[in-house]
Structure 1
């Protein structure tokens, strides 16, 4: 496998570089002073190499879980929490571990503080309008046929490219994920490429910790385009409501700034994870021939393939929290105002929770809860949409159309990132 420099966060190329930069910055001035405290108060993992994390984070995660699952990492200005128990505890206690982290560039990028940077009750108020849109019944009955139509459309284009040139990420996963998001949001008169560009530019802005004006120019330009569209769509959907997310937000009674910030947040993040799950599933099955044969013989196993792939190679690797007061987590004292990195990708490989084969891909693994979609009040609102659009539609239909679909070992693949991680290039072929 060939790897390249970090590239993407919620998605492809420039995004991961941006979000990884945010993690290096740290959460707040208070967090930056944490390193000056007596190191004997808590484990310090000063050996962590950020470049190695971006290339392949899992060896670093394994060492952290073994030596110090809650450790201060000076290079990141954060405490990294890498075991399942610690990550689960953080997710269940928003009073101590707040999502409202200080100094976030996310607010600057999307124009206001979105729900991802809020705790309850503000978080729940922003999220409530779209909960009905994203419930399993709505996803199955309203959006399932849309997802299937989109998959069939891009499988036709994929077939035209052919088995010698096709790249699963570029030619299928990315456009399908983008079109699904366009439809689910209810955006009008926009192209797949335009929405992907917005997503990339918003993410770059969220990670613009060095205050690069060229990045802000890109972000601001895309923000202006998106805001002009929303200025038309919000009043339109107030008069013509439908089942889309923008319609739900438009009729929620929330301030317009909340609505537009949360829509831009959704554009930022709603492409990357579904996109990477398409490639992750195909990559996993291509490298586990016996399990691949079992799935192709028994389509009922597709749900297990999705769930195991999202645990095994989690597209969201880490997200930030900040302590509101001094606390003790898994026996480690953490100061008030400290930045926390909740490393769910590591937690999902914790043998203490998943057993000794936690690092292996196994669709027959005994069912245990994982953290790929988060937990607690911040459980990903779109997880049912992802399971349906990718696990039940996009990937199964790809194998139905191309039963011989597999990684093309004659060409190089590339993985990038650790805060957000995925295949940015996956050449594939078929018989």
Structure 2
């Protein structure tokens, strides 16, 4: 997994350039705040709290202690090292998703790098009605009926193919990310998009190049070179595929986009957007589910004995170890969020990885993995108009097939503690290395 590089530090003094009165704030080693106004409902309103103790490298190593402190001190805080307001409370993140008029997906900064990377603004960086127009073109391909009738047999075939690859590596050398999760996620994406002749390693390279480019706020020339190479290769392929699918439509996402009436650049941008985000999350859900069950053996035993529990494993893993940890928004007007005044144009990081452990929403031990917890909505797949279009595909391909079939083939599959396991990232978070073993 390639985590998005952190934005350049804009301040290490605790000064927030977005304070309500426009004045610098004093240095602080914790989230600081002051009452500056009163909302219409009589609640206190503060100018922007500052969390200048947040270190991006520590977020990438283990973000959860930082998330807990931010939620406790202020669920909306200015983080100088990231140049963003981080929103970590569930209620506040959910409110953002339900109000696209105030919290726009058309953002500067990271939005600009995505456009630079993909060559065009995709639907993820658009609000309605443009977003809905482009989203509707792919919805039929990703609806539950289509997933069941068209894609489930393909997903199962791919899972069984790479289970054989994992078996070939053997219980002393198998690495779940390399030998199974990444190639399964890549091949599923290749098939969904309808990209003939593309191999899983090429898909992985494209996806990682686009993710790195989207986060390249430091203008690293090597990152741009890799992103430009990937974009050129994908665009060259699409120059052939788009007219082909216009004349020969099928069930793939590229075919649906090509026949939607959208201009060629918009079709290409959304294919590249899907390549960017459509591999890492399913890949990390495979390894995250295996890791979570391995570290909760009682629940592991119950799932192996009762396969009807697999959907709960998928859902709880998505909440507890959210593979998409943060995404950006930008305010279109001055607004009060979580008792904090935000000006127009404020850059926001919607930290769903933190919101999904908020005790004010998940009252039943939110920091623990529990597939039997009372069912409550979470934000792992977003919410509102930007609810992840591929969530049904992910639930089927990973939650119902890739991981259950893995344990069907290897009932004693477990993390191999003789070798190192590694995690990385917070914008996208997942296991980069997960050695596994099993009994012969």
Higher relative contact order (CA 8 A, sep 6+): 1
| 1:212 paired residue among 206, 220, 224 | 220
Spell out the pairing of 1:263-342 with structure 2 (5 A cutoff): 263-342=271-350
Q: Confirm whether residue 401 of structure 1 aligns to residue 409 of structure 2.
A: yes
Deviation at 1:213, TM superposition (A): 2.1
The equivalent residue for 2:44 is none
Measured in 2, the distance between the counterparts of 1:221 and 1:64 equals 39
Spell out the pairing of 1:217-296 with structure 2 (5 A cutoff): 217-296=225-304
Assess if the C-alpha contact under 8 Å between 2:18 and 2:48 holds in 1. Answer: no
The equivalent residue for 2:38 is none
The equivalent residue for 1:77 is 83
Larger radius of gyration between Structure 1 and Structure 2: 2
Measured in 2, the distance between the counterparts of 1:407 and 1:216 equals 36
Q: More displaced, 347-356 or 203-212?
A: 203-212
The equivalent residue for 2:195 is 187
Q: More displaced, 42-51 or 91-100?
A: 42-51
| 2:147 paired residue among 139, 142, 147 | 139
Measured in 2, the distance between the counterparts of 1:111 and 1:365 equals 44
Measured in 1, the distance between the counterparts of 2:392 and 2:167 equals 28
Measured in 2, the distance between the counterparts of 1:394 and 1:326 equals 46
Q: Deviations over 1:285-343 (max 9, x none)?
A: 00000000000000000000000000000000000000101100121111111111100
Measured in 2, the distance between the counterparts of 1:156 and 1:313 equals 27
| 1:65 paired residue among 71, 81, 91 | 71
The equivalent residue for 2:387 is 379
Q: Deviations over 1:388-409 (max 9, x none)?
A: 0000000000000000011001
| 2:354 paired residue among 346, 353, 357 | 346
Measured in 2, the distance between the counterparts of 1:54 and 1:243 equals 38
The runs of 5 or more residues in structure 1 that have no matched partner are: 1-11
The runs of 5 or more residues in structure 2 that have no matched partner are: 26-33, 35-46
Change (3 A) 1:185 1:141: same
Assess if the C-alpha contact under 8 Å between 1:25 and 1:209 holds in 2. Answer: no
Assess if the C-alpha contact under 8 Å between 1:106 and 1:113 holds in 2. Answer: yes
Using the size of structure 2 for normalisation, the TM-score is: 0.91
Measured in 1, the distance between the counterparts of 2:160 and 2:267 equals 32
Q: Which has the higher helix share?
A: 1
The equivalent residue for 1:9 is none
The equivalent residue for 1:196 is 204
Q: Deviations over 1:156-208 (max 9, x none)?
A: 11101101000000100000000000000000111111111111111121122
Measured in 2, the distance between the counterparts of 1:32 and 1:354 equals 31
Deviation at 1:43, TM superposition (A): 1.4
Q: Deviations over 1:96-130 (max 9, x none)?
A: 10000013200010000011111111111111110
Deviation at 1:387, TM superposition (A): 0.3
Deviation at 1:65, TM superposition (A): 0.7
- SS of the aligned residue for 2:325 comes to coil
| 1:54 paired residue among 52, 60, 72 | 60
